[in-house]
Amino acid sequence: MTEPASTPAAQVGDHPAMDFLNTHATPNGVSTEWLATGTDLLTWLEQANLIDVETAARFRADKAAAAQLDVVAKGARALREWLRALVRRHAGRPLTATAETELGPLNLLLAGDKSYARVAGGPEGLAVQRLRRWETPEELLQPIAAAIADLVCQADFRLIRACEGHDCTLMFLDRTKAHARRWCSMALCGNRAKAAAHRARKRP
Ligand SMILES: [Zn+2]
């Protein structure tokens, strides 16, 4: 039984695509879904800084798009479970160019990208920005696709780990200097594991 979320999704993945993966998790042993509806998807995209507040508000206010948003959320869940299978297959060793054959769903999504470029001035001088018009709810999957593309091209898959916490399903990219991260977070799982180890030591 999967419960709808009552708290914001964990942002412990240290990469937006890993956080996307963690939008289904089992905190405290309860299977929880953070992308159950189109509204959920907007909330998560906003929380993950993948869309701006105005874009989220505009889609939220568009009652005619509500049903379509729910369909997009379903697409997001399917994309997430595809990504989960890919990550599980490859976590712990380098992802090589041969993985291209497994990236069909990602490339199909990327082919529908309608973003456009703009040259704008910033603190570092002129730079190319990618912008979106956000004309249809389907476009909401594009920042997620871009994050997944970044993960598979840029992240070191040797550093993708699952939290060692008992019953915890959260995963993360270990970007700590020593690459010795074991927990989704100290507050959630680290302290619990330490307390359990302490109790075990005290037992006669
Ligand atoms: Zn954990």
Predicted confidence at residue 204, as pLDDT, reads 67
Query: Distance from the CA of 22 to the center of ligand 1, in angstroms?
Result: 11
User: Rounded to an integer, what distance in angstroms lies between the CA atom of residue 170 and that of residue 168?
Assistant: 6
Q: Which stretch of 50-59, 151-160, 161-170 has the lowest confidence by average pLDDT? A: 161-170
Return the percentage of the chain with pLDDT > 90, whole number: 79
Q: What is the whole-number distance in angstroms between the Cα of residue 188 and the centre of ligand 1?
A: 6
pLDDT, tens digit (0-9, with 9 covering 90-100), for 179-203? 999 999 888 888 887 888 888 888 7
194 in Cβ contact with 202 (< 8 Å): no
Q: Tell how far the Cα of 26 is from the centroid of ligand 1, in angstroms.
A: 9
- Residue 160's SS3 state is strand
Q: With bands split at pLDDT 50, 70 and 90, how would you rate the model's confidence at 167?
A: confident
- Tell me how far the alpha carbon of residue 135 lies from the centroid of ligand 1, in angstroms: 38
**Dihedral of CA 95/100/103/109: which sign?**
positive
Region 48-70: mean pLDDT is 95
| DSSP assignment letter at 34 | S
CA of 173 to the centre of ligand 1 (A): 13
Ligand 1 centroid–CA 170 distance in Å is 6
Q: 78 C-alpha to center of ligand 1: Å?
A: 23
The rounded mean pLDDT for the chain is 93
pLDDT, one tens digit per residue, over 75-128 is 999 999 999 999 999 999 999 999 999 999 999 999 999 999 999 999 999 999
Q: How far is the CA of 118 from the centre of ligand 1 (A)?
A: 40
pLDDT tens digits, residue range 5-24?
878 888 999 999 999 999 99
Which of 114, 106, 97, 93 has its CA nearest to residue 144? 106
Total-model pTM? 0.91
**What pLDDT, on a 0 to 100 scale, did the predictor assign at position 6?**
79
